[in-house]
Structure 1
Amino acid sequence: MPTSIPPPGPTLPARLRRAAVESVSGLPRQFWWLWTSTLINRLGAFVATFLALYLTVERGYSASYAGLVGALYGLGGVLSSVGAGVLTDRLGRRPTMLIAQLSTAASVALLGFLTDPVAIAAVACVVGMASNASRPAVQAMMADIVAPEDRVRAFSLNYWAINLGFAISSTAAGLIAQHGYLALFLGESTLVLACALVVFRKLPETRPGTDAPAGAAGGPAPGAVSLRTVLRDGRFMTVVGLNLLLALLFQQAYVSMPVSMGQDGFSSADFGMVIAVNGILIVLLQIPVTRFIEHRSPAMLLVGSALLAGYGFGLTALAGSVAMYAVAVAVWTLGEIINSPTQMSLVIRLSPVHGRGRYQGMYALSWSIASLTAPLLGGTVIDHYGADALWAGCAAVGTVAAVGYGLLLRRLPGPDPHTARHVSAARHPVAAEGGAGRRARS
């Protein structure tokens, strides 16, 4: 009697296509316009990457002056983070993004024409303020329009766009600079204007109305949400503090790792190859890894990502070859891939709807402080105690962060019921708002 042969399963290309479709399906159109604006913005991220090289090579300033300008750029981000969060809640997401992007375009273009050192330093600080001011608004709008169960995936896709844009812009900037650094400044200004145009034409305001009852978002009433509210939210501020620890780790990749490799006799080209592993892995793995972690416990994921980050940088102490440095980068990059969307989803989960801008601003502040202080911290430890001590300290910091996440997130608050209602309204504005929905899209 003939035996039946089971039908063949789907082929690998078919499974990959299905996985790709599932990774991007179900997200609202408005999210994809926001995603597009992020990609355009990052494609033009030329100036921050090449500012030190421009000042020392093109203008002939000292390395100390270039470091001062870089610090002022970072200080601008610190100053604008919280203020932009307040504007996001008061003016709205769309106006805050437009103000930030138009200010960035104007100040970046101006910076390219300046020659006076005082003027360059002052405008660099303004550029730092303007270019970082849109972050709280972007993250708050994303939370407004994406359903809670899809947020990890949405933040992952957005992070993927940021890294894809940065990888392309870094490569393109080197080629563009061969024709003059002014082209970098004007090119970034043009692309930021294109980003603002997408926001102006395609993204209606998503700030929730003020008609929600007190506590509907799991937090205080709209009028009661202030910066004091954020600072007194112990659970959230602990998350911000833990993120600061991890941000200090990740910043060492661009501050202390090249110094450490130089002390070991490796060239800048070697460092370029090693750090390229980070971008390549994020582009290749961010979406597949997100499919794996999307519905898992955020506490488990954040503990694991902190350990991967800490011990990935700790492995650098054992690196004696380019290959071993690349292995260390691969380990902490996996931690970064897991941490970013999980952490952003947690920040939104802990934020009251009408205070998302302020909460996002405080979260962004932790990254700005890290970018400002990490160079000083890493350099001081290397100079006084050696690079191995720094990398051992990174492993210790990662362990502390992991323990902190484990203790803090044993019990998380439930999903925000008002968020689901607001997301539904955002997806079906005509049914939820009548004529107002049609006017918002026109």
Structure 2
Amino acid sequence: MSTRPGETEKRRARQLPRLYWVLWAGTLVNRAGTMVQPFFAFYLTGDRGLPIAEAGLILTAFGLGSVLSPLPAGWLADRAGRRVTLTAATLASGAAMVALSRSTSPLALSASMCGLGLTLDAWRPASTALVADLVAPPLRPRAYGLLFWASNLGFTGGVLVGGSLVQDHFATAMWIDAATSAAFGLLVWFALPGSEPALPEPTSQVTEKRGGFRDVLTDQVMARFTLVTFGYCLVYLQSLTTLPLTMRHAGLPPAAFSYAMAVNSAMIVLFQPWLSAWLDQWDRSRTAAAGIALTGIGFGATGLATSTAAFALTVALWTIGEILVSAVGSAIALDLAPTHLRGHYSGLYGLAWSLATLLAPLLGTRLLSVGGDVLWSACAATALVAAVGQFLLRPAVSARSS
């Protein structure tokens, strides 16, 4: 029986390496400790007794830090190494969380929040690049998909525990968060060898080991892919801002939003590992385009929903899209990157998410104030344009992946 080209390579790559599972376990532990981030607004207005407007300004400091974080973190991942960057970022994040727990004045709270925004996800470019270092290209969608699954599994558990803990013991929850961040970094530090492993670089990507963000920003394929990702993120992040507002305007209680979002968590936990086992066989760009399109259809249908069940159905639609995009998005970004700039490319990919996190609430609420039909139609249109853009990138992405 004949073997198709690349079949043997895929079979060899089928087994994820031990060091990948160390990163997977660390991600799970770190995200399980994420008990306080969803409750920052409650902490500032409750425990610290700040007015809503002042709390909003402090939360903006957090958003500013998160926007400034990805590019330097990506640069550091390439210059200092994945091991140093990941450990330093998680230890710094833990220190910032402790500082926040001890801050009382608005100025100190703002500084701590900005520091936390800078460090909380600064480990991601190093982590994303490390997966590309450890895992052969055919298996990367599976690897990134399982990492996304671990992140969501840990986050869901952390929020469930944190929801009860923060009512009376917010400082304790902050210390737990800090401890799990530090544990993640130390786990990676002691598990990874001093000389970090890397797969052989494709012949097509062998260049002088120099370059920086100018090379990344002038890469037209990566620039367009980042723009596509930004469009997708603007739509997807409406799930955290305008979706609950829309459900409230429909006359539904806050619990209805929890039920609808439980569909999201349950589908990711149940289906992500199963789908991840197959995604390495599918074309990356087509998978991403399909996922973005499904996201647009799901959010577009939100404008038609009036009951909890109907909203839950729209959540199910865009969750399928989220699962597909989460598995192949990082894989595409790292397929485009030469080995010595993987951290830089991962940082630019992360910047699309950070900018969208900052702008999605602003743009979404403005459109919602005009009308729900305007918002959700705009979401559908934005996602479908992004899906077409991703599909048109397919030839260039495939050429760079070979």
Q: TM-score, normalised by structure 2?
A: 0.93
Q: Deviations over 1:50-108 (max 9, x none)?
A: 11111112222122222222222121111111001111111000111111111111110
**8 A Cα contact 1:208 1:354, kept in partner:** no
Q: Select which of 104, 109, 112 maps to 1:120.
A: 109
Q: CA RMSD in A?
A: 1.9
Q: Select which of 330, 334, 340 maps to 1:344.
A: 330
Q: Select which of 226, 243, 267 maps to 1:240.
A: 226
Q: Deviations over 1:16-44 (max 9, x none)?
A: xxxxxx9x961100000011111111011
**8 A Cα contact 1:34 1:203, kept in partner:** no
Moved more, 332-341 or 196-205: 196-205
The correspondence of residues 1-400 of structure 1 with structure 2, limited to 5 A, is 26-205=15-194, 216=203, 218=205, 220-223=207-210, 225-383=211-369, 385-400=370-385
Q: Which has the larger radius of gyration?
A: 1
**8 A Cα contact 2:217 2:223, kept in partner:** yes
Q: CA deviation at 1:219?
A: 6.0
In structure 2, distance between residues paired with 1:275 and 1:395: 19
Q: Which amino acid aligns with 1:188?
A: D
Unaligned residue ranges in structure 1 (runs of 5+):
1-21, 418-442
**8 A Cα contact 1:302 1:402, kept in partner:** yes
Q: Deviations over 1:141-193 (max 9, x none)?
A: 11101111111111011000000001000100012113321111111011112
Q: Deviations over 1:229-253 (max 9, x none)?
A: 0000000111011000111111100
Query: Residues 335, 416 of structure 1: CA spacing in aligned structure 2 closer, same or farther, 3 A cutoff?
Result: closer
Unaligned residue ranges in structure 2 (runs of 5+):
1-10
Q: Select which of 392, 395, 408 maps to 2:393.
A: 408
Query: Which residue number corresponds to residue 4 of structure 2?
Result: none
SS in 2 for 1:344: helix
Q: Which amino acid aligns with 1:218?
A: Q
**8 A Cα contact 2:221 2:397, kept in partner:** no
In structure 2, distance between residues paired with 1:414 and 1:205: 33
SS in 2 for 1:82: helix
The correspondence of residues 414-425 of structure 1 with structure 2, limited to 5 A, is 414=399
Identity %: 37
Q: Which amino acid aligns with 1:400?
A: V
In structure 1, distance between residues paired with 2:193 and 2:117: 26
Q: Which amino acid aligns with 1:357?
A: G
In structure 1, distance between residues paired with 2:195 and 2:260: 41
Q: TM-score, normalised by structure 1?
A: 0.85
In structure 1, distance between residues paired with 2:186 and 2:231: 36
Number of aligned residues: 390
